[in-house]
């Protein structure tokens, strides 16, 4: 650890810089860094010896300070975020391994301070917990809908974590990547965790197809890319029995062919994406996601997918099958909880037997009824992924500040819901959502708790954030961001309260799990 030789005290600096954000203050060797806020304008401030090379890493205005020290005001842009990650190593995304982890997506770029507060809150009461955060997380689809880039996502999370004084390990999730170009953009931005989404190649028609149709689908698979043959797959899996902790899973010919027909194309795509990512020569972690499909992943299909990926040399840290039940956006789990636990427990056994790797919970926002189940059954080998719920907390924040503006957003969201819902699994109905004119200003926050209104507001985030009026100006975005920037404490407080509920089930109190080294020992 670097010993600080910085000659000025925090209190001394605060007298000269009253807007210094104390939580961000860092002394590193002979230099100090902090975030300064004037109104809603944030700047990085660096004080260091005039000949300190770190001064040249940052863009900005440099001035003489005192005692042969220099002072630099640096804007919170992409280049300076990169320089800050290189200078303060804990802000650089790292590999999280098999530790319990949670991702907190941020569609407006201002949520990270609230996310940090929530992690601190739950970890304060659980010393020794393995729970680690991913603050930078957004899918390529969401970036396109919000006109953001991978650099935007990384930069916003970097400044948010710095402002809030996060000092622990963190990751950065390039989510739901579908093409090599997606990978390239996220590698350039510095992500550490890459979620491959082969959903376009999952053939769910195999679930209901006739045996003859399944055989035709198997014959049409890209066998060259799979580096095997249909005959070898049938030979390797026919009659195979995989022994788990509570049962054995047996493959017969029909099970093998259906699994191959359904997931063969996806497996080939994952292997191609993995090799492209590996060719970049960077440290990374991979997540495989087959959750955004119409039908659940059976236990046998789970085994088939991971066995084939291992055969192809793919290494991953977490996997997101399509679980039974309904995982709708920003709503609790819909389905039979007992059936979910029974099914999920077997998936967790497979992950321990054929891994170990974490099971990932996608569309994980607000699934409060299943969090304890997933933590218990995986014994801590679990990753939670949330996104849209932070946007909804932004809307909750503005209901108290500018109810008329929120009402306008709700009217607009209702008008665009039927179009925007097309890419989501949603059951909200306009008929069941309260009419805007029927809701008093004082009751507007309750719309964020009403099932149909909540899903409508979630699904339309992209349209709201990019909508333009007749004059060509952004209709909602600028005012929404201005309100959130002017009221950072309100937004962070709402996020903290909301995410404490998400994270508490994932901190380890007592002996409900084994760490991954112990799992390897007992295997």
- What are the pLDDT tens digits along the chain (523 aa)? 567 799 999 999 999 999 999 999 999 999 999 999 988 899 999 999 999 999 999 999 999 999 899 999 999 999 999 999 999 999 999 999 999 999 999 999 999 999 999 999 999 988 888 899 999 999 999 999 999 999 999 999 999 999 999 999 999 999 999 999 999 999 999 999 999 999 999 999 999 999 999 999 999 999 999 999 999 999 999 999 999 999 999 999 999 999 999 999 999 999 999 999 999 999 999 999 999 888 999 999 999 999 999 999 999 999 999 999 999 999 999 999 999 999 999 999 999 999 999 999 999 999 999 999 999 999 999 999 999 999 999 999 999 999 999 999 999 999 999 999 988 889 999 999 999 999 999 999 999 999 999 999 999 999 999 999 999 999 999 999 999 999 999 999 999 999 999 999 999 754 334 444 444 443 3
Dump the DSSP string for 103-152: EE--SSS--HHHHHHHHHHHHHTSTT---EEEEEEEEHHHHHHHT--HHH
Q: Which pLDDT score is estimated for 510?
A: 40
What distance lies between CA 354 and its chain's CA centroid?
25
Helix (H) or strand (E) holding 354: helix 337-354
Confidence (pTM): 0.95
User: So what's the pLDDT on residue 522?
Assistant: 35
Report which of 357, 361, 363, 381 is spatially closest to residue 371, judged by C-alpha positions.
361
Which pLDDT belongs to residue 509? 52
The three-point CA angle 130-135-141 to 5° equals 125
Pair of tokens at residue 117: 């507060």
Distances from the Cα of 302 to the Cα of 220, 229, 349, angstroms: 21, 20, 11
Domain boundaries, the chain: 10-75, 77-176+387-523, 192-379
Question: SS3 for 501?
Answer: helix
Q: Is 442 helix (H, G, I), strand (E, B) or coil?
A: helix
Closest CA to 406 of 435, 458, 460, 444: 444
* DSSP letter for each residue of 285-319: EEEEE--SSSSPPPHHHHHHHHHHHHHTT---SEE
Distance CA 247, CA 242 (A): 9
Strands 101-104 and 132-139: parallel
Burial category of 234 from C-beta neighbours within 10 Å (exposed 0-12, middle 13-18, buried 19 and up): middle
So which residues are the catalytic ones? 175, 287
């Amino acid at each position: 650890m670097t010993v600080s030789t910085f000659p000025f005290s925090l209190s001394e600096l605060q007298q000269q810089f009253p807007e210094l954000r104390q939580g961000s203050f860092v002394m590193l060797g002979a230099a100090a860094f902090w975030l300064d806020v004037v109104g809603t304008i944030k700047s990085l401030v660096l004080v260091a010896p005039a000949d300190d090379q770190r001064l040249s890493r940052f863009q900005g205005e440099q001035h003489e300070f005192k005692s042969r020290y220099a002072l630099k005001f640096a804007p919170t842009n992409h280049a300076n975020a990169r320089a800050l990650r290189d200078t303060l190593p804990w802000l650089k995304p790292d590999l999280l391994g098999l530790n319990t982890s949670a991702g907190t997506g941020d569609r407006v770029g201002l949520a990270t301070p609230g996310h940090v507060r929530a992690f601190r809150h739950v970890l304060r009461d659980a010393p020794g917990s393995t729970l680690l955060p991913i603050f930078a997380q957004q899918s390529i689809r969401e970036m396109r809908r919000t006109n953001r880039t991978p650099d935007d996502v990384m930069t916003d999370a970097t400044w948010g974590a710095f402002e809030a004084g996060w000092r622990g390990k963190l990751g950065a999730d390039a989510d739901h990547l579908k093409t090599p170009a997606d990978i390239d953009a996220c590698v350039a931005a510095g992500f550490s965790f890459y979620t491959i989404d082969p959903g376009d190649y999952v053939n769910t028609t195999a679930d209901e197809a006739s045996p003859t149709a399944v055989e035709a689908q198997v014959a049409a698979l890209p066998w060259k890319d799979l580096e095997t043959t249909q005959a070898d797959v049938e030979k390797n899996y026919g009659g195979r029995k995989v022994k788990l902790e509570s049962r054995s899973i047996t493959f017969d010919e029909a099970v093998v062919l259906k699994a191959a027909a359904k997931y063969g194309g996806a497996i080939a795509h994952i292997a191609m994406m993995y090799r492209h990512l590996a060719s970049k020569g960077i440290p990374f972690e991979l997540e495989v996601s087959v959750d955004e499909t119409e039908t659940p992943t059976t236990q046998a299909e789970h085994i088939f997918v991971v066995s084939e990926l291992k055969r192809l040399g793919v290494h991953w840290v977490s996997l997101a099958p399509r679980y039974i039940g309904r995982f709708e956006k920003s709503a609790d789990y819909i389905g039979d909880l007992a059936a979910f636990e029974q099914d999920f427990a077997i998936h967790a056994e497979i992950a321990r037997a054929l891994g170990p790797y974490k099971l990932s919970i996608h569309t994980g926002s607000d699934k409060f009824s299943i969090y304890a189940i997933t933590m218990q059954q995986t014994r801590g080998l679990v990753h939670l992924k949330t996104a849209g719920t932070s946007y909804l907390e932004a809307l909750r924040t503005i209901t108290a500040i500018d109810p008329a503006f929120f009402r306008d957003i709700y009217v607009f969201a209702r008008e665009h819901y039927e179009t925007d819902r097309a890419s989501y699994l949603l059951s909200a109905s306009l008929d069941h959502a309260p009419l805007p004119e029927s809701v008093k200003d004082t009751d507007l926050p309750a719309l964020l708790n009403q099932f149909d209104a909540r899903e409508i507001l979630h699904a339309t985030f992209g349209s709201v954030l990019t909508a333009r009026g007749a004059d060509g100006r952004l209709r909602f975005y600028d005012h929404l961001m201005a309100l959130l920037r002017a009221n950072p404490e309100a937004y962070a407080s709402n996020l903290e309260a909301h995410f404490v509920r998400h994270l508490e089930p994932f901190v380890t109190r007592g002996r409900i799990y084994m760490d991954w080294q112990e799992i390897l020992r007992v295997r």
